[in-house]
Structure 1
Amino acid sequence: MNKVLSLVGFVLVLTGCVNTPPKPDNPHFAPIRPQTLQAPKSVNGSIFSSATNINLYGDGRAHRVGDIITVVLQESTSSQKNSKTEIDKSNSQTIAQPTVLGQALTIDGNPLSASFGTSTTDFDGEGKVNMSNSLSGNISVTIHDVLANGVLIVKGEKWLTLNQGDEYIRVSGMIRPQDISADNTVNSTQIADARISYSGTGAVHDSNTMGWLSQFFIGQLWPF
């Protein structure tokens, strides 16, 4: 019985190491549908309708909840770090011949003395890191909220179904209205508190992912 429980526990631990692939239509990134963008109600005698009105003097830039903004992805990061450490340490200890009342202590006529010689410790370490990443493209997001200071909270995702799997991009963050250009676009570098994810699912993605058993043996749960 104990062996069965141990086996079940081991399987559960390994199952926890498996990452669940993302799926489309995540509610967190779903387009918001405010009341003003829903289908207009029956005509009550007035010609004006707040649900379908168009500002003839506006510049066409998104500013309301539910409006669409195109984000131009222009992400490029690079980092380089070099470190080198050298430590040298030497030590030598010698104890002089002990005396008592001015007389040197001896054993069988031989003077007492001790010398520990010389010890040396050397350490030499060197490390180098060089990383670079880039992401370009476009994705349209919707305004989910407008803060009191006018800052826009935007979220959105894009899924591409390919013959060997799916590719997706998810973007969320905060945008200043003045950063939106005349063609209703904004650069990803101008998004505050940005969360940008680009990954995929399918055979190509799985071939570049480490298996759950390998993750277990190199993870923190492996005690050796």
Structure 2
Amino acid sequence: MKKLRLVCWSFLLLSLTACVAPQSIVTQPTSARAQPSVLTGNNNGAIFQAATAKMLFEEPVARRIGDILVVTIEENLTAVNKANSSTNRDGGLTLSGSADIPYMPAALGKLFNATADISTNNKFAGKGETNSTNTFKGSIAVTVIDVFANGNLSIGGEKQVVVNGYNNVLRFTGVVNPNDIKAGNTISSTRVADARIEQVGQGAISDANTMGWMQRFFLSVWPF
């Protein structure tokens, strides 16, 4: 009875472990609301107000919390690693001897008149090669989350597309320099610092490409 209870608890713990979703690499917020404008006590009645003014000849790009910025994802990473090694070692040994002693037994005579020739050869050759290529193209509209003291902008955004029950989620966070924002209020992902890009899917296709929890359990504990 105790063994059966132990097995039931083990399967229950494994089931709960299997239900835990993979940890996301995006830890920063992906949305922020614009802060209310600070109203100054002095109002001179003029049209220009420093707190809410927008320059007529200034490019309308994201500069404040809550502003929207378009990020063009242009990630193309390639890594190649090669290694070759070889060793060769040869050795040889020749031993000969003769003896003629009267009244020596025949067995001992063969021993003293024996000749030995020993040779060894040890070779090793190893070769390894790793190629990795990652290409990610697309675009996503993000929101300015925070403005740092030096003027840099912390951005974050999330896009969800659901087609026939399959949910495709794209998340993006990072830090940008306002001077790198191009005309049209866009910036390349290659100019974003601390960029974290995550694309996950939820649905039948994702389930089909995921290893079952029982397989993951035996893969982690099986020593061979």
Is the shorter-chain TM-score for this pair beyond 0.5, marking a shared fold?
yes
Counterpart amino acid of 1:53? Answer: T
Alignment correspondent of 1:130: 131
Find the structure with the greater CA-based Rg.
Answer: 2
Distance in structure 1 (CA, Å) of the matches to 2:94 and 2:8:
60
* 1:66-145 → structure 2 map (5 Å cutoff): 66-92=66-92, 108=108, 110-111=111-112, 117-145=118-146
Counterpart amino acid of 2:52? Answer: N
Alignment correspondent of 2:52: 53
Alignment correspondent of 2:187: 186
Distance in structure 2 (CA, Å) of the matches to 1:135 and 1:179:
21
- 1:65 deviation in Å? 1.5
Q: Cα deviations across residues 80-125 of structure 1 (Å, max 9, x unaligned)? A: 333332232334467899xxxxxxxxx9565499979333333232
Q: Cα deviations across residues 155-185 of structure 1 (Å, max 9, x unaligned)? A: 1111111114111111111101100012111
Alignment correspondent of 1:101: none
Secondary structure of 2:159's match?
strand
Task: State whether residues 160 and 166 of structure 1, in contact with CA within 8 Å, keep that contact through their aligned partners in structure 2.
Answer: yes
Alignment correspondent of 1:62: 62
Q: Cα deviations across residues 130-173 of structure 1 (Å, max 9, x unaligned)? A: 33221111111111112222111111111111114111111111
Moved more, 66-75 or 114-123: 114-123
Root-mean-square deviation (CA), in Å? 3.6
Alignment correspondent of 1:174: 175
Counterpart amino acid of 2:181? Answer: I
Alignment correspondent of 1:103: none
- 1:199 deviation in Å? 2.1
Alignment correspondent of 2:3: 2
- 1:10 deviation in Å? 4.9
Task: State whether residues 164 and 204 of structure 1, in contact with CA within 8 Å, keep that contact through their aligned partners in structure 2.
Answer: no
* 1:9-24 → structure 2 map (5 Å cutoff): 9-13=10-14, 15-17=16-18, 19-20=20-21
Task: State whether residues 76 and 132 of structure 1, in contact with CA within 8 Å, keep that contact through their aligned partners in structure 2.
Answer: yes
Task: State whether residues 29 and 157 of structure 1, in contact with CA within 8 Å, keep that contact through their aligned partners in structure 2.
Answer: no
Q: 1:86 to 1:27 in 2, by over 3 A?
A: closer
Distance in structure 1 (CA, Å) of the matches to 2:59 and 2:112:
102
- 1:7 deviation in Å? 4.3
Aligned length: 208
Task: State whether residues 92 and 117 of structure 1, in contact with CA within 8 Å, keep that contact through their aligned partners in structure 2.
Answer: yes
- 1:17 deviation in Å? 4.7
TM-score by length of 2: 0.74
Moved more, 160-169 or 87-96: 87-96
Secondary structure of 1:209's match?
coil
Alignment correspondent of 2:33: 33
Task: State whether residues 78 and 133 of structure 2, in contact with CA within 8 Å, keep that contact through their aligned partners in structure 1.
Answer: yes
More helix by share: 2
Distance in structure 1 (CA, Å) of the matches to 2:21 and 2:146:
29
Unaligned runs of 5+ in 1: 98-106
Unaligned runs of 5+ in 2: 98-106
Counterpart amino acid of 1:145? Answer: D
Distance in structure 1 (CA, Å) of the matches to 2:36 and 2:117:
88
Counterpart amino acid of 2:151? Answer: G
Q: Percent identity?
A: 30
